[in-house]
Amino acid sequence: MSTELVTRKIMDKTAPNRSTAIVNGESSNVLNWDDVRFKWAFPLYKRMLANFWTPFEINMGKDVQQFPQLSKAEQDTFLKIIGLLALLDSIQTDYAAKMADYITDSSVNALMVILAQQEVVHNHSYSYVLSSLVPKGKQDEVFEYWKTEPKLIARNEFITNGYQEFAENPSVENMLKSIVYDVILEGLFFYSGFAFFYNLARNQKMVSTSTMINYINRDEQQHVGLFEKIFKEVLNENPEYNTPELKEFAIQTFRKAAELEIEWAEEIIGNKITGLTMKDVSNYIKFTANLRCNQMGFGKMLVFPDAPTTNPLRWIVAYQEVDLGKTDFFEQKSRQYTKASEANGFDDL
């Protein structure tokens, strides 16, 4: 039977400032960054702060001119992806807050608060893009897609059902399973959509929107890294939950998620978007599913053993990294392409 999670106390005079465990531990809840349990927490805190951005920084002028010039297929795909992202990031804000309630460690809890704030910024960015490009009526329609698109409904319920189980029955086991769903949401479900925007950018289309997507993508990579660390720390402190059943759950859940993502990609991308083939996108999704499963500690090539061992969309790596500052990456005349590595999520398996 899975151990029930206890919510963090607002203050505990009898407990030390440094937490005794990441969940179900003791902590005064006073945060002293010079005395925290996990050595990775402060460096991650600094990186998340350094990446602070808002949609207001991005000039949408050129995109406003270009959007009517996109093909009908490109316009439809553009709007459907924005609709999907808006729903998932809204869910993510709430999930991060619920997760934070059960994190004993005050430094990790602080990171979750920053993560939730970044998800709010992401959601604002979709409104910002849409308000720049389409009338209010169309914007409202896009924000309703999640209720009417059958494939969107299936994808969304897949995630929300996993989150809901944790919300209604907060236990160590359900927390671990919800983190698998989180990594799927932030590290797999967005990725065919990201590929679409980056493909537009490499064809000098909708560059401002793609820059904004790039900032979101960068945040999501850090969020996946944070949840990966939480997952591993919980298992390290509660090894009885590191079972073959959990591993099999993760593999099957990543596989189902990838299948849903491929179905979605077939609808929005298929073979109708110049520069992207469905074969490459499908292989990219399978490659990413294997990558994420391995990142969680379960091993390589377990979700799709026949998937490529190298990223089939190698060009995309250059569009997923922002050079250490907040310059407009896509409009730089000289780009410093970041080498693919485990840190940025696209090393060779």
pLDDT in tens, 137-189: 999 999 888 888 888 888 889 999 999 999 999 999 999 999 999 999 999 99
Known active-site residue 102: no
Q: Model confidence over 291-302: pLDDT tens digits?
A: 999 999 999 999
Task: With cut-offs at 50, 70 and 90, classify the pLDDT of residue 1.
Answer: low
How high is the mean pLDDT of the chain?
89
CATH class of 41-239: mainly alpha
pTM over 0.85: yes
For residues 124-149, average pLDDT: 91
Which among 126, 145, 181, 191 is annotated as catalytic? 126
Task: With cut-offs at 50, 70 and 90, classify the pLDDT of residue 337.
Answer: very low
Q: What is residue 320's predicted lDDT score, i.e. its pLDDT?
A: 73
**Three-state secondary structure readout of the chain:** CCCECCCCCCCCCCCCCCCCCCCCCCCCCCCCCCCCCCCCHHHHHHHHHHCCCCHHHCCCHHHHHHHHHCCHHHHHHHHHHHHHHHHHHHHHHHHHHHHHCCCCCHHHHHHHHHHHHHHHHHHHHHHHHHHHHCCHHHHHHHCCHHHHCHHHHHHHHHHHHHHHHHHHCCEHHHHHHHHHHHHHHHHHHCHHHHHHHHHHHHCCCCHHHHHHHHHHHHHHHHHHHHHHHHHHHHHHHCHHHCCHHHHHHHHHHHHHHHHHHHHHHHHHCCCCCCCCCHHHHHHHHHHHHHHHHHHCCCCCCCCCCCCCCCCCCHHHHHHCCCCCCCCCHHHCCCCCCCCCCCCCCCCCC
Q: Model confidence over 308-331: pLDDT tens digits?
A: 999 999 999 888 765 433 444 344
